[in-house]
Amino acid sequence: MRRLAALLITVLTASSAVAMAQGATPAPAAKAKRSATTTKAAAMAGNIVSMPSPSPLYQIQIMVRAGSANDPVGKEGTASLVGDALIEGGFGSTKAPVTKEKLAEITRPWGEAALPRIRVDKQATTISMLVPKENLQQFLAQVLRPMLQKPLFDAKEVDRLKKEALVNIQSRIRFEQQEQLGLLALDGGIFAGTPLGHLAGGTVQGVSAITRQDLADFYKQYFTRENVFITTTASSAAEQNAIAAVLPAGGTAAATMDVKPAAVKGRELLIITQPNAIATGIHFGFPIDVKRGDADYWPLFVANVFLGTHRDGFGHLYQTIREERGYNYGDYSYIEWLVGRPFFLFPPPGTPRSAQYFSVWVRPVATQYTQFIAKAATAELDNFIKNGMTPEQVAAAKNKARTLYLKYSDSKSRQLGYKLDDMFYGMRDHGYLDEMLKDVDAVTPEQVNGAIKKHLQTANMKYVIVTNQSVGDKLADEIANSANIVSKSLAEYHITEPVPAEKQAMLKQDEAWKTYPLNIARDRIKVVKAEQMFETDGGAK
C-alpha cells in the first residue's frame, strides 16, 4: 500500500519561497527594492502547502479561517451569503461586472471544474478549483484575483440569494429533508449558546436582517492573505506566490475560536414533528473533549469504527439493528462533525472544528418501533462502554480503518482538503492522512478501551426525534412513561415456532432492550413543529 507520506509534499517557508522565486539569495539592495506585492506573497508562503502532481491540471484549494461561527449576532447567515455572493454577486468593474453567467462563459474552455466551488461551514470557508497548467496565469488574472479582490455583492443578487437561503431553511430543511433536519437539530442543540449553535446557512430572522453592507464588512474582515491556508499542486514558488497574491492583503489571522459547549445534565429529548413524515428518525449525542491531534483521537477513532462506521455495514450498531433485525437502512456513530451525512459515503474534508461531539444516527424506523429502537441503540452504546473491545475486535477495527484510509485518500482533491484541515488543527508536521496508517497501527487494545471509558457515557445525552405531527405528543408521553414499547413480532422477523436455537439469543436481547430505562422525564421532553426550527439563533422559536 502506497503511503500518502511518500508523496512529494513541499511546505514552503517565506525565505525559501523568495529564494526560489528569484533564483538566488538577494543582496540587501535588491531586498530593499522588492515590490510590496512580492513581499506580501513571500510572507504568505508559510501558509501554502504544495503537493505536486503529474496531472496537466493544477488544483487549488483555499481555506478562509472564518465561517458561520463568525456571523455577527442577529445576522446569522452572513458567512454563507458571502460565499454565495462571491460567485453570483458579480466581481470586477461595476461598469462591466463579471456576472455568474459571464464567469461560466470565461471558465468553460478550461473545464467545468475551473468554475470555483465554495463551501461554507461553521469555522471555515473553502474555495476549490481545477485549472489547466498553461492557463493558470490567465485564470488568476481573469477570475480568481478580481473575484477575491473586487467582489461587488450586487444588491439585486444579494436579495435573490437571501430569498434562496430562506427557502432552504423554511422549506427544504424543515420539510423535505427529514434526516438532515434531525442531524442539524442535534448539532445545534449540542452547541446551543455558542457561535456554533446555528445552521451554517443561518436562521430565518438572521438571514432576513442581513444587508449588502454586512456582507462587504464580513468579507473585508476575514478574506485576507493573512487569514487563509492554501494547498495546491502547483510546484514552482513563482506560481505559488501568484496564487497567494490573489487575496487582499493587510488583515490579521483570526484568533482560534475557543468553543466550549455547555455540559449536558441528564437526558433530554427534542421531538420535531413534520406533517409529511412517514417514518421516525432518531439521533443522540453529547460533547467530547477530543479532536484531531489529541492523544486519544486515534484510539477513539478505532473504537468508533467498530461501533458505527459511517454508511458501512461493518459497525456493530448496523449489524445489530439493521443487518440482524431489519429495522432501517443503517445505524452509525461519530466522534466528530460530518457534514451532509445522508449524501456522502465518506467524510468530506473542509469542515474542521475546534470542538467536537459524539453522536449516533439511527436512520428512520417505522414509527411504532421508535421507543424500542431508541432504547436498543442507547443500550448497545451502554454495553459497548461497559464491556469495551476484545483484542480481536480491535484488530478487526484497525483492519477496517486501513481500508478507510484508501477511500479517504483516493484523490488529489481529498488529499489537498485534508492537508488544509491539518493546518487548521496545527498538524502540519503530523498530517491526518500522512500518518493515519502509522497511527492506527500503533493503537493498542488498552488505549482503545481506555479512551472508551474516558470519553463515552450514556448518563448525559441530548436526543432528537423527527416524526409525524400526528404522534408527537403521544410519543413524548409514552417515552416518559416507558409505555407501549413495540418490537417486531415473530412473523415480522420471519421466525417460525418453535423458535430456532440460533434466534433465541436475539429475542432475549429484544426483551432486555424493552426494559432498558431511557429515564427521560416528561418535563425534559419538548415537542415542536418543524416550522419552528431555526427561526432564531438557538433552534426552535
pLDDT in tens, 425-438: 999 999 999 999 99
Which pairing describes strands 525-529 and 267-274: parallel, antiparallel, or unpaired? parallel
pLDDT at res. 231 = 98
- Averaged pLDDT for residues 372-400: 99
pLDDT at res. 45 = 56
- For residue 524, count other CB atoms closer than 10 A to its CB: 15
Q: Using an 8 Å Cβ cutoff, are 26 and 246 in contact?
A: no
- Averaged pLDDT for residues 157-169: 99
In the chain, the amino acid numbered 146 is P
pLDDT at res. 329 = 98
Q: Both 210 and 276 in a single domain? A: no
Q: Both 195 and 282 in a single domain? A: no
Q: Using an 8 Å Cβ cutoff, are 47 and 229 in contact?
A: yes
Q: 277: Cβ–Cβ under 8 A, 6 or more apart, which residues?
A: 178, 466, 467, 468, 469
Domain-ending residue, one of 186, 211, 244: 244
Q: Using an 8 Å Cβ cutoff, are 277 and 468 in contact?
A: yes
Our CA dihedral for 53, 119, 116, 205, rounded to 10 degrees, sits at -170
* CA gap 145, 141 in Å, rounded: 6
Integer Rg of the chain from CA: 25
* CA gap 304, 359 in Å, rounded: 10
pLDDT at res. 253 = 82
Structural domain includes residue 100? yes
pLDDT at res. 250 = 84
- Averaged pLDDT for residues 63-89: 98
* CA gap 12, 453 in Å, rounded: 41
pLDDT at res. 447 = 99
pLDDT in tens, 5-30: 333 333 333 333 333 333 333 333 33
Confidence check: pLDDT of 149 > 80: yes
pLDDT at res. 252 = 79
* CA gap 66, 170 in Å, rounded: 25
pLDDT at res. 540 = 55
Q: Both 317 and 451 in a single domain? A: yes
pLDDT at res. 254 = 80
- CATH code, domain with 421: 3.30.830.10
Structural domain includes residue 257? no
Q: Both 133 and 273 in a single domain? A: no
The backbone region for 23, taken as left when phi is positive above 0, alpha when psi lies in -120 to 50, beta otherwise, is left
Q: Both 422 and 364 in a single domain? A: yes
Q: Both 354 and 433 in a single domain? A: yes
Structural domain includes residue 255? no
pLDDT at res. 270 = 99
- Averaged pLDDT for residues 334-360: 97
Q: What is the mean pLDDT of the chain?
A: 92
Which pairing describes strands 331-334 and 356-365: parallel, antiparallel, or unpaired? antiparallel
Q: Both 220 and 152 in a single domain? A: yes
Cα–Cα separations (whole angstroms), residue 157 to 72, 104, 115, 175, 207: 21, 16, 18, 26, 14
Domain that holds residue 459: 267-532
Q: Both 418 and 495 in a single domain? A: yes
Structural domain includes residue 91? yes
In this prediction the pTM is: 0.91
Q: Both 426 and 369 in a single domain? A: yes
Run of H or E residues at 58: strand 57-64
Structural domain includes residue 518? yes
Structural domain includes residue 206? yes
pLDDT band at 255 (very low <50, low <70, confident <90, very high): confident
Q: Using an 8 Å Cβ cutoff, are 82 and 213 in contact?
A: no
> Looking up cell 457561535, which residue turns up?
195
Q: Both 235 and 273 in a single domain? A: no
- Averaged pLDDT for residues 310-321: 98
Structural domain includes residue 369? yes
Return the axis-axis angle of helices 432-442 and 297-308, rounded to nearest 10°: 80
pLDDT at res. 158 = 98
Q: Both 443 and 502 in a single domain? A: yes
Domain-ending residue, one of 244, 259, 276: 244
CA-based angle 65:67:69, to the nearest 5?
110
pLDDT in tens, 394-441: 999 999 999 999 999 999 999 999 999 999 999 999 999 999 999 999
pLDDT at res. 501 = 96
Structural domain includes residue 448? yes
Q: Could you say which DSSP state residue 318 is in?
A: I
Q: Both 232 and 276 in a single domain? A: no
Report which of 314, 326, 320, 324 is spatially closest to residue 365, judged by C-alpha positions. 326
Query: Looking at the 3D structure of the chain, how many domains does it have?
Result: 2
pLDDT at res. 60 = 99
pLDDT at res. 15 = 34
Q: Using an 8 Å Cβ cutoff, are 369 and 487 in contact?
A: yes
pLDDT in tens, 271-309: 999 999 999 999 999 999 999 999 999 999 999 999 999
Domain-ending residue, one of 200, 229, 244: 244
- Name the phi and psi angles at 490, rounded to 5: -60, -40
Q: 482: Cβ–Cβ under 8 A, 6 or more apart, which residues?
A: 371, 517, 518
- Averaged pLDDT for residues 106-132: 98
pLDDT band at 84 (very low <50, low <70, confident <90, very high): very high
* CA gap 295, 274 in Å, rounded: 42
pLDDT at res. 68 = 98
pLDDT at res. 57 = 98
Q: Using an 8 Å Cβ cutoff, are 152 and 103 in contact?
A: no
For 66, the 3-state DSSP assignment is: coil
- Averaged pLDDT for residues 126-136: 98
- Averaged pLDDT for residues 173-198: 98
